[in-house]
A and B are shown apart, each in its own frame.
Chain A
Amino acid sequence: MNRLLGPLIGLALYLGIVPLLIHGSSYWLTVFINISLLAFTSLGVWLTFYIGRINIAQGAFALIGGYAVAVLTTLHGWPFWLALPMAGLVAGLVGGVVGSTILRLRGVYFAMLTLCLTEATRLLALNWTGVTQGASGIIGIPTPFGGDSSYLQAYFFSALLLLAGLLAIWRITQCRMGRVFRALQAHEDLAASIGINVAQYRVLAFSIACAFGGLGGAVLTVFLQSIYPTSFNVTNSTDFMLYCFLGGLQFVLGPAVGALVLFLGFQLLSALGSYQALVYAILMVLAMLLLPNGLLSLRFSVRQKSMREGQV
């Protein structure tokens, strides 16, 4: 129970206090909507890391999810609530197909190829004009959030989506599937020797990861009501990865904390004008150098230190 206390407090804060504090400020609501959705999308990258792969393709799957929801709602008139799961499904399936080939690579090779995949998906969106309308993009995507409180609705929806995502990933890590994933991360050959179907499990993990990307991208797209081939690009893919790393790979909450701190930090630096990006990048590299195990490791090392001191 004690273990759950921290996350529960955080949750209460996020669902209750944040909207109260920033109520009425559509700017800040937008910031937090973005944080929730970016964190949700990053959870997929986190899960890919959980099987020992560095994934820089999440932008591609966000783009796929975004186009899926855009095409389904605008061209085929699907309602959002039907199109959204479909977007996740499409991204997950594409991820499964692509994953079954590229997951044979490891380490930096997998990372490089996933980066290329992000670029390839952008080019596909640009050239497949029959479906995506090419560079002019798809605009006027209908939104399910309306009326005076549309931002607040979107805020709660994304916060709840993030919560559901965290819960799902947490359960995965706690059950048999998570155990198998950890085994794959540690040693694929040893896992295979005791009868684990390595190829199947890593494709499963990657598909789930891509479905997260598709869902996150779809909601972001609907929120912005437009999508272009550049809506999710290489920069986004690396961002998703950085959120996970900087939040802490050992913790399910890592991507959420990473997204919160980094995205919020970036917004807070906006006063610096044209130096915003530079200062942000410097701070990020510093964080990498000083906190190699992520921001959440800070909390744990403090606790461990006090425990050690307590024993003396």
Chain B
Amino acid sequence: MGLAPTYLGSVMSQIIVNGLMLSATYALIALGITLIFAIMNVMNFAHGQMYVLGGFMVYYTYGVWHWPFALSLLVAALVVAAVGLILERFFFRSVLRRSRREESTMLLAVGTALLLDSLALALFGEKQRGVPDVVSGVYHLAGAYIPARRLLIFAIAAVLTTAFIVFINYTRPGRALRAIAQDRETAALQGVDVTRYSALGFGLGAALSGLAGGLLISTDAINSGAGNLISIKAFIMIMIGGAGVVSGAIAGALVLAFSEAIGYYFIPGSLPYLLILTGLIVFLLFRPQGIMGRRWG
């Protein structure tokens, strides 16, 4: 009660700023996993591992070898996309051809996550890694502090998210991907090369996750075991927003980012996530299809 209005105002704007900064990068993660799910009906349990891979690519190229940040982001995206393409080609495609049962692909996705986890551990070690600031300085806006590096990450992520939405809505490959997401068989009948576009979608989805990792390593450190936690965040977002829907991914990213911003501002430690997960279960009780999703099952 004794809080001065200006203080309250600055708390509010700090939370809004933090939430917004985070939401753009989270949107990349959620868009990636939702894209893969929409076109292949594969829930990518290795999504967080792809994020970790992207993060470490930036760690080595930018942090260790001092390449330009933009170049190292590009490399991260390409490498993770390549990993995604390889996984699609040699793992998922054959299993999908053999059986359309959800369990088989899910099992494989879990196995892939495990594989990438141990690969990351073998390649990158256990240490927590971060990179030097890309830009320095702090801005002050409406009572909130905005570190310049966070602002930069936000700007890049927001541009990428916008670019993705434009791509998916207004370009030929984007329309093909949407057609596949709607109905594989119909898309094939309309002459869409389903196999090739599925691979493209998988690679693109993986790249988005890798980009998110590459961006966030410059503000939050990363370690090779972080994959599962990021996957859990991705799951939370698409369950909140609704799986397989672009607008749902964005909605989920906003909800999670702001929940984190609010939670971590007021409550220390790991309690916020416990509350977020509990909230998720309660939310799904009332809206099992998520905010934007259609009802399933």
Contacts and interface: CB of A to CB of B under 8 A. Distances in A.
Direct contact of A and B (CB under 8 A): yes
B26 to A, nearest CB: 16
Contact of B277 (A116, A288, A289): A116
A291 to B, nearest CB: 11
Contact of A292 (B99, B110, B117): B99
Interface string A115-153: 111011001101100000000000000000000000000
Interface residues of B, number: 47
Contacts of A249: 103
Contacts of B239: 109, 112-113, 116
Interface stretch (A9-17, A167-175, A192-200, A271-279): A271-279
Nearest to B239: A112
A244 to B, nearest CB: 10
Contacts of A115: 231-232, 235
A127 B102 contact: no
B8 interface: no
Contact of B103 (A116, A245, A280, A281): A245
A111 B106 contact: yes
Interface stretch (A36-44, A72-80, A98-106): A98-106
B114 A288 contact: no
Given A120-B274, A120-B277, A242-B110, A54 B115 contact: no
Contact of A285 (B91, B243, B270, B280): B91
B98 interface: yes
B236 A116 contact: yes
A62 interface: no
Give the most central of A107, A116, A235: most B CB within 10 Å: A116
Interface string A41-68: 0000000010000101000000000000
Nearest to B90: A289
Contacts of B270: 123, 126-127
A284 B113 CA distance: 12
B283 to A, nearest CB: 11
Contact of A116 (B110, B118, B235, B296): B235
A123 B288 contact: no
Given A127-B270, A285-B108, A106 B297 contact: yes
B274 A238 contact: no
Given A108-B102, A292-B98, A123 B271 contact: yes
Given A282-B115, A292-B95, A119 B110 contact: no
B232 A241 contact: no
Contact of B280 (A108, A116, A241, A281): A116
Contacts of B115: 278, 281-282, 284-285
Contact of B232 (A106, A119, A280): A119
A234 interface: yes
A101 B280 CA distance: 12
B277 A123 contact: yes
A54 B236 CA distance: 17
B288 A104 contact: yes
B1 interface: no
Interface residues of A, number: 43
Give the most central of A108, A124, A245, A277: most B CB within 10 Å: A108
Given A54-B103, A115-B232, A116-B280, A108 B111 contact: no
B188 interface: no
B91 A234 contact: no
A238 B46 CA distance: 12
B3 interface: no
Contacts of B280: 113, 116
A107 B280 CA distance: 17
A58 to B, nearest CB: 13
B235 A112 contact: yes
Give the most central of B117, B119, B232: most A CB within 10 Å: B232
Given A127-B269, A234-B228, A277 B243 contact: no
Nearest to A52: B103
Contacts of B99: 292
B297 A289 contact: no
Contacts of A54: 102-103, 106
A292 B239 CA distance: 28
A127 B285 contact: no
Contacts of A282: 115
B274 A107 contact: no
A277 B274 contact: no
Contacts of A284: 111, 114-115
Interface of B: 37, 43, 91, 94-95, 98-99, 102-104, 106-108, 110-115, 117-119, 121-122, 228-229, 231-232, 235-236, 238-239, 243, 269-271, 273-274, 277-278, 280-281, 284-285, 288, 296-297
Q: List the 4 closest A-B pairs by CB distance, nearest first.
A: A120-B277, A277-B118, A108-B43, A123-B274
Interface of A: 49, 54, 56, 98, 101-102, 104-109, 111-113, 115-117, 119-120, 123-124, 126-127, 234-235, 238, 241-242, 245, 249, 274-275, 277-278, 280-282, 284-285, 288-289, 292
19 contacts: A101-B281, A105-B284, A105-B288, A106-B296, A107-B102, A111-B106, A113-B280, A115-B235, A116-B280, A116-B281, A117-B281, A119-B232, A119-B277, A120-B277, A127-B269, A127-B270, A127-B271, A242-B110, A285-B108
